[in-house]
Structure 1
Amino acid sequence: MSHAGRPAESDKRTLRREFLSVRNRLTADDVREAAAALADRALDLPELADARTVAAYVSVGGEPGTLALLDALRERGVRVLLPALLPDNDLDWGSYTGEGSLARVQHGGKMALFEPSGERLGPDAVTEADAVLLPGLAVDGRGMRLGRGGGSYDRALARLERAGARPALVVLLYDAEVVAHVPEEPHDRPVHAVVTPSGVRRFPAGA
C-alpha cells in the first residue's frame, strides 16, 4: 500500500503530540488510580497467569503506571525482565527484583528512564518471554500500536520474529487511547491485546 511510507510517519508524529498532550495534563492521582485498575485487569489475563517470564517496562511521567503490576507478577513467582536503552536505541534486558533493583538513567536529551541496575542479559533475552508488555500511545481496532517513535520496540519485535518466538504481545493504555485507526508502516506488527483501566480487548489479527 503506497500510503504506508513517509505520510504514515508524519501522521504518527501528529497523533503522538496529541496523545502526549493529554497525558501531560493528568494529575499524580489520575495516574495512580489508573495504575491500580490496570494492574487488576492485567493480572486477570490468562496470558500473564500462565507466564513464567514477562518482559515489561517501568512507566514514567504520565504513562499508565506499571510498578504495581511488576510487583504483583514477582509475588506470583514470575521472572520479570526490564529493558535498558542502548546507545543505538536497541534494548538490552535485566531482571527486576523490586524497586531497589532500579536505577534512574538519563539518556541525553530524552526523558530519564528507570532501568534494571543488575546484570545485563543481552538483547536476545526478550526471546525467552512468554508475554511482552509494550508501552504505547494508542492502539486501533486491528491491534496496530502507536509507539513513541524511537523504534526500540520495533527492533525487539523483529528480534522475536527472527527467533521464531511467539509471546503474547500486550499494550497498556488509558481508555481514551483505544481509537478507530492508527497509521501503520510496513514494519508495524499488531498486538494480541490491550489492557486499560476499564477492561481488556483482544485483537484477532495479533493471534
Structure 2
Amino acid sequence: MASKEDIRRSRRLYRRALTPEQIAEAGEALARHGSTWAETVTSGEAAMFAVYVGVAFEPPTMPLLGALHEAGHDVLLPVCEPDRQLSWVYWTPSTVFVRSSYAPIDEPVGERLDSSVVASAAGIFMPATAVDKDGNRIGQGGGYYDRLLQGLDASGRRPPTIAVVYDDDLLPSGSIPAEAFDRPVREVLTPSGVVVLENAAEPA
C-alpha cells in the first residue's frame, strides 16, 4: 500500500496535468451535482452548508458556492486558526478574501464563528486529495477537517458529509492507509456525480 504522502504526490501530479478547460468543466459539473445533493439532504428546503474554496489544483468550488447561494442556502466557509482549528464565516458573492495567516490560501473576511455552528449545517462539503471506496480520505495533511469531524462525532451532531474530488481521485478499496484519528466519509462528489460508498465505516 502506498503511503499517504505518495498518494498526495501522485494526485497532485494528475491534477496539474488538467487543462483550464477540464478544470472549468469540472467546476460546473460539481456545482450541478452538488446542488442536487443539497436539495436531496434538505428535501428542497433552504438550509445552511459548510463548504470551502478550492484553490490551486483542487477541484474548483466557486460555481458550487454560487449555485447554493442562488438556491437560497446559507454558505459557511472555513478560516484556519491556531492548533489546527477552524472557525467559520458566512459567505455571499460580495465577500472579501484575505491571505490566511496559517495556510497558503485566501480566506473570507467577516464575523468568525466557532465550529459548533457546523453542527447545525445541513451538510458539509469537504476538501480531499483522494478518497478510497472504504471511505478513507486524504486531505492536504493539515488535519483541520479530521479534528472538525472528531469534534462533531463526539457531540453526536455530525451532519451529512461529502468529500469533493476529481473522478480519478476516487481510488479502489484498501488504497489509503487509515489511522486512528482519520474520519471516514460515506459520500463523494465528483464531476460525474455523487458516489455512495457502501463499504465505508460508520462514524465512530
TM over 0.5: yes
Give the one of 175, 189, 193 matched to 1:199. Answer: 193
Which runs of no fewer than 5 residues in structure 2 stay unpaired?
none
Question: What's 1:4 paired with?
Answer: none
Q: 1:159 to 1:27 in 2, by over 3 A?
A: same
Assess if the C-alpha contact under 8 Å between 1:127 and 1:159 holds in 2. no
Assess if the C-alpha contact under 8 Å between 1:59 and 1:66 holds in 2. yes
**1:51: Cα distance to partner?**
6.2
Q: TM-score, normalised by structure 2?
A: 0.88
Q: Structure 2 matches for 1:24-173, cutoff 5 A?
A: 24-45=16-37, 46-47=40-41, 49=44, 52-98=47-93, 100-107=94-101, 110-111=103-104, 113-173=105-165
CA distance in structure 2 between the aligned counterparts of 1:136 and 1:165, rounded to whole angstroms: 22
Assess if the C-alpha contact under 8 Å between 1:47 and 1:131 holds in 2. yes
Assess if the C-alpha contact under 8 Å between 1:133 and 1:169 holds in 2. yes
Assess if the C-alpha contact under 8 Å between 1:102 and 1:114 holds in 2. no
CA distance in structure 2 between the aligned counterparts of 1:50 and 1:154, rounded to whole angstroms: 28
Assess if the C-alpha contact under 8 Å between 1:53 and 1:131 holds in 2. yes
**1:188: Cα distance to partner?**
1.4
Assess if the C-alpha contact under 8 Å between 1:173 and 1:195 holds in 2. yes
Q: TM-score, normalised by structure 1?
A: 0.87
**1:206: Cα distance to partner?**
5.3
Assess if the C-alpha contact under 8 Å between 1:136 and 1:148 holds in 2. yes
1:102-130: CA deviation from partner (whole Å, max 9, x where unpaired): 3131446x42x232211111232222211
Percent of paired sites with the same residue: 38
1:54-100: CA deviation from partner (whole Å, max 9, x where unpaired): 101011011111111111111111111100011322111010111x3
**1:160: Cα distance to partner?**
0.8
Give the one of 168, 177, 185 matched to 2:179. Answer: 185
**Letter of the structure 2 residue corresponding to residue 189 of structure 1:** R
Count of aligned residue pairs for this structure pair: 196
CA distance in structure 2 between the aligned counterparts of 1:77 and 1:13, rounded to whole angstroms: 39
**1:189: Cα distance to partner?**
1.7
